[in-house]
Structure 1
């Protein structure tokens, strides 16, 4: 491991560095039935795609133009939401994302909120689309 990476892990924690550099679920879901683009107050934008079947998030992916902390938050959020019922996924909090990462720096706590809000918008889009089909 490089000295720089070791120092980053010391400062920010292993999970933030790993997920920030190699995010999980960092892809577009081509057959998604829910999608949203959301821009947070910091200016970072996150896109979230979900594929829902029988009210369960079967597949989820995200992309962002944000920083390493936003990528880490998106990774954790998508891992937490995958396999959950829609209602359960909506209950995921920014604090859960933050805790799962081992604690975001104070000036990046908003990254967890950005990820949660983007997921909420994707679920809203899924629900709106579902209602139109009925």
Structure 2
């Protein structure tokens, strides 16, 4: 199973995995996220502290994390189902109900076939897109 560094660096960082372990109540106290080791297996995400986390459970956490990031963003409606939403790399991103032009959304759309076990449960979305979906 060959997964690109882009997918790993955006979805499976030690910090995110550590937060997921707290969410799933599988955390170990006195364990720093910097010491966390993980591998992507066919059946799920393996960690040295808690064993295997199913892709379904991890996707559920990551979607909630994405939704939480969307709450502080400012937006403006510029047309029928077209919004501009505050961004980091650009002043704003153009978002519709089906797409966003931010790098994260485009990465997920382009590389979702690399890890279909995960993207089966995690929709192609980003925090800008989640903001518009919540309106």
The TM-score, its normalising length taken from structure 1, stands at 0.37
Q: Which has the higher contact order (CA 8 A, sep 6+)?
A: 1
> Could you say which structure has the larger radius of gyration?
2
Higher helix share: 1
